[in-house]
Chains A and B, each alone.
Chain A
Amino acid sequence: MSKTFSLSAKNLIRKPGRTAILALLTAFLALAVFGGSVVVLSLRSGLNSLEARLGADIILVPTEAQSKVSFQNMFLQGTTGAFYMDASALEKVTEVEGVEKAAPQTFLASLKADCCSIKIQVIGIDPEKDFTVQPWIARSLTKELGDMDVAVGCKVEANVGEIIRLYEQRCKVVARLEATGTGLDTAVYCNMDTMNALLKAAEEKGVSHKIESGSDVISAVYIKVKDGCDIDAVNSRLNGHIRKATAVRTRSMITGVSDSLAGVSRTVSGLIVAVWMLAFIILLLAFALIIQERAREFAVLRLLGSSRRMLSRMVLTESALCGLLGGIAGVGLAALLLFPFSQLIESSLRLPYLMPDAGKTLLLAAGTALLSAVMAALASVAAAYRLSRIDPGTVLREGN
């Protein structure tokens, strides 16, 4: 194998033009496969992350939030939003049959003004009741969120230890959270006491959060349904039991995103297949042309004692090496286009977008390069077969 390998390698190195053309063709193939796969994987990871962060079967929000779809936009696009309902809604939720857990959250949007360092979504959680955000925060912060402590999403421009001002209140950044690929990456999290302080400070700045009853407020209740209970039935009971609020199944929120993701996935997959087929056909043609160009060379090798199998192996080795070279180049090019512009892609798609981790990306890159090598080798099978069966005597005489 090594004897034919070294001859194949020399052929590739000493015919750089021919090698470059074949490698370029497979590079397009690898670019489409790797680039497309990363986009699709990022969208899927984003959706999974969104599901994990929602983490509840049902979310109860004020009716106005549901109608304005502002709640969904908070998760998907990171837009700021604030909507409130009476805090007693939490107690009413727990009274409903089938509810296992209920955790309140309160939202506040900071201002782009002197009183605030940054315009951002602030989310208050109750660490004792919370079962959705807390596990995520726990990965970056080993203690509980203290008063006037905040944990920031990965896209918030604030470092651990830094002080940020929200409505003239000084909040200390105690943790920077892992990326989720959702709008939650642009939010900051605090406990309910901090949130109440911020709400009071916002009130003083003229940002009203009061509701008609004048009592304490919350923005959403995250609900976990008991095992074995029909989630739709619990959802209906919640909607019948609580006024001025709507219970929404998280799956219905995700369905819209999932449908969009399926659409984008189909388009990207279609493009991958189209580029793949085109590149494969061009490779077939290229190898067919090479047969004519190299017939004499292979006739000589046959004359010198190469068996048909050796010649086939030589052609397949050369094409696989070309494919590998092109695959690596294509993956590199895709990486250059994808990674620096991931923010742009994310904002263009308007969907949760979480790039795969380094290990998965490397595995995908290696797989793509390997696949390119296999495809190039497959495209050259017919050429290898024909070259291995040439009649050296005739070919060498015809060349005179």
Chain B
Amino acid sequence: MMFKAENISKRYFRRTGSANYFYAVCPLSLEIMACGVTVLAGRSGSGKTTLLNMLAGLLAPTEGKVWLDGTDLYSLDDKSLSRLRSEKMGVVPQGRSAIDTLTVMENILLPARLYGRPEPIEAARQWMEQLGIAHLADARPAELSGGELRRMAIARALAQAPDILFADEPTGDLDDGNTHIVLSAFHDFACIQKKAVFVVSHESDAFQYADKVYRMDGGQVDIMH
């Protein structure tokens, strides 16, 4: 798997200030390791989530290209991009991301069901076990705590075994114990299954599991190590 961004930027218009636009993400290029955990750190409002959304095919950049295995994501039509995101990418967004009408297990199997792929039931059970939510398989999201919901979203992304997994502040709602469980899971996924993990986090705990760390500030990215 080869994943890279070339000179991508995101510019928004605004009516106040001297310029009539501002850069949420300044033009930048970066490459994500095919097998390993990449962490993007930075303060709130530094443009981390905007960058993640652009990389995950959810937000078209103002300029630049995002390549996955030689395919420019934003040259694809919506149908092809959606299918590619379903097959090759996993996304763990900020906040709640459960479908309330489905059980936890149904939520985890949903990406496969949407495209009629074989349901990764065994993988789902294994990740739920590892993340400590195996007993909640038949529960409805309304019965879960914020931390459990977050781990459900992570299990959902991992169970699909995507080539690249994007996680936006995945440990934000978690206590220390669960933070390490989740980060270990990402590390195992990257090392054992030889996949790429891109984590946006402002927590230093994430650094010790990272193979590569970027820091983002004012829309610009620097490599930390």
Contact = CB atoms under 8 A, between A and B. Distances in A.
Residue of B49, B78, B82 contacting most chain A CB atoms (<10 Å)? B82
A264 interface: no
B101 interface: yes
B93 interface: yes
A21 B91 CA distance: 34
Chief secondary structure at chain A's binding surface: helix
Contacts of B99: 297, 300-301
Contact of A304 (B59, B106, B110, B116): B110
Interface residues of A, number: 28
B83 A305 contact: yes
B94 A400 contact: yes
Nearest to A10: B101
Interface in A365-400: 391-393, 396-397, 399-400
Contact of A391 (B59, B83, B95, B156): B59
Residue of A4, A7, A11, A307 contacting most chain B CB atoms (<10 Å)? A307
A396 B59 CA distance: 13
Contacts of A397: 49, 93-95
A308 B94 CA distance: 21
A391 B116 CA distance: 25
Interface string B87-126: 1000101111111111000100011011110000000000
Contacts of A304: 86, 91, 110-111, 114, 156
Contacts of B91: 303-304
A396 B94 contact: yes
A72 interface: no
Residue of A6, A301, A304 contacting most chain B CB atoms (<10 Å)? A304
Contacts of A303: 58, 91, 93, 97
A270 to B, nearest CB: 40
B135 interface: no
A393 B49 contact: yes
Given A3-B116, A14-B101, A304-B111, A392 B78 contact: no
B220 interface: no
Nearest to B79: A307
B184 interface: no
A306 interface: yes
B100 A305 contact: no
Contacts of B130: none
Given A14-B101, A301-B99, A3 B114 contact: yes
A90 B94 CA distance: 96
Interface in A291-309: 296-297, 300-309
B53 interface: yes
Given A391-B59, A393-B53, A306 B114 contact: yes
Contact of B59 (A305, A306, A310, A393): A393
B95 A396 contact: yes
Given A10-B101, A304-B114, A393 B93 contact: yes
B82 A307 contact: yes
Nearest to A308: B78
Contacts of A4: 114
Contacts of B113: 3, 6-7
Interface residues of B, number: 31
Interface in B32-50: 49-50
A400 B113 CA distance: 27
Given A3-B115, A391-B59, A393-B93, A297 B100 contact: yes
B65 interface: no
Contacts of A308: 78, 82
A307 B100 contact: no
Contacts of B116: 3
Contacts of A302: 58, 82
Nearest to B77: A307
Contacts of B215: none
A305 B79 contact: no
A10 B59 CA distance: 30
A302 B97 CA distance: 11
A392 B83 contact: no
A242 to B, nearest CB: 80
Nearest to B90: A304
Residue of B50, B86, B98, B156 contacting most chain A CB atoms (<10 Å)? B86
B187 interface: no
Interface string A111-141: 0000000000000000000000000000000
Contacts of B202: none
A87 B134 CA distance: 98
B95 A305 contact: no
A7 B100 CA distance: 12
B59 A307 contact: no
Nearest to A11: B101
B151 interface: no
Interface in B56-93: 58-59, 78-79, 82-83, 85-87, 91, 93
Given A3-B113, A296-B96, 12 more contacts: A4-B114, A7-B113, A10-B101, A11-B101, A304-B111, A304-B114, A304-B156, A305-B83, A305-B87, A305-B114, A309-B79, A391-B59
15 contacts: A3-B116, A10-B106, A296-B96, A300-B99, A302-B58, A304-B110, A305-B82, A305-B86, A307-B78, A307-B79, A307-B83, A308-B82, A309-B78, A310-B82, A391-B58
Kindly list the 6 A-B residue pairs having the minimum CB-CB distance in the complex, ordered from nearest.
A305-B86, A307-B82, A14-B101, A393-B53, A400-B95, A396-B93
